[in-house]
Structures are given as C-alpha cells and as structure tokens.
Chain A
Amino acid sequence: MEKRTLDNARKGKYITILALPQGLMKVQLIRLGISEGDKIFCLERLPGGTVVIQKNRQEIALGHELARQILISEEL
C-alpha cells in the first residue's frame, strides 16, 4: 500500500480513500457515495490530472484540483 493523492492514482488500480477535502466538496462527494475508507476503482486518468473513478456501477469524474486534495492509498 502506498499513500498518495488521487490525481496520481494509476489507471486500472483499486484505491482506498483515506481523506477527503473539508467543506462543501466533501459533503457533495459523500452524497455521491464516496466517503473516507471506501475502496474504489481508478477507471481513467487523463493527461493533466482529471480522474475518472468508479464505485460499483457509478462513474464520477473529478477535476485535477479536486483530485489533488483527496488522499488515497493504492494497492501495489
């Protein structure tokens, strides 16, 4: 397990959310079903850092700025 931020997640890897940014973004992510401790799949990482994650059947795109503030651990 390696700690990093979501914008550095590798495509095709399962990751665990360690910490979400505080504030409005956090509650919006919680509503969409992404909370701390969740295991999710990195579906795509676009050049420039926009990340697409998948949890069950749900796909969510996060801009680089947001992904940078999310702490994850990635399975090796």
Chain B
Amino acid sequence: MKEWSIRVILLAAFVALGFWGWHGFFPSPETVIRKRLDKLAKAASFSSQEGLLAKAWNASSLGEFFTLDVQVTMDVPGTQHIISGRDELLQAAVGARSTVSSLTIELPDIKVVVAPDKTSAVVNLTAIGKVSGQSETYLQEFRLRMVNVKSDWLINQIETVRTLSERAVAGISC
C-alpha cells in the first residue's frame, strides 16, 4: 500500500477518534436527555424479586428525574388525572408498584427538541410497558417538558398524547 494512502487512513481514523471523543466528553443536550430518559425507564421498571423495602427505595429514586413542581396530566381510557408536585408523583409511583408484581418499561422512540437557549426541551416519546403474567403490552405516547437545572435535565411537565385523538392536544412548549 502506498505511503499516502496509509496517511489518509490514519488521518481519517484520527478525525473519527476526535469526533467520537468530542461527543463523548461534550455530549449534546439531546444526547444527555436521551440517556437520562433511558435511565428513568430503567428506574421505573421493577421485577417481582424486589422486596417491599427495595420497591419503596427504588420508587423514591425516581425523584431525581423530576422538578419539585412537576405536573403530570394523565388522560388515558378510564382515567383522567392530574398529579401536582414531586411528592404526589412519588406516592403514585409507590402505589403503582404495589398493584403489579413486575413492570418493564421501554422507550423505543424519543424525539427531543431543545429550545434555542438550551434551557428547556420538549420531548415526544413512545413508552411500552410489559407487566409480568400478561401477554398484552401497553403502549402510551407522552409529551414532556424538561428544564435544565444546574446542568441537570429534569422533567417539569408530562402529558399523555393520543395521536388519533378526537381531543385537541394541550400545548407543551419550550
């Protein structure tokens, strides 16, 4: 192989390494938000192996993902409910954990739109929930508003979305 082609390959590898390193050390807000939501999905999932104490502890760990004044608007068949504040949300999470033995949450689709000033973002996501002992999977669309608090992206607002709904969707914006 000629010397110049080796140089080109080395240069390309160096550029790729630099690009990868830059994005690793200085991730974009979108990447940070995606990772954060993946962590949230893992934290919200639980297995039947967990004891009561572990369940309560893991449910309380969800608090780090939300602002104190988080507002959740649930509009799903059979339930229309508004949760105001992190404490109420955590209580609801603990309550939900006691009703099913295990839950796995996946977020296959996450679309993030960061505001130009990078202090807030609107996230559309599709969540899939699988409950042990049930063959059916639960699909729910959500729209989130996240805010950047001291370099930490926290969820400030959550609402359920129905793409094919007759109702107009309330507007969450950056």
Are A and B co-members of a single complex?
no
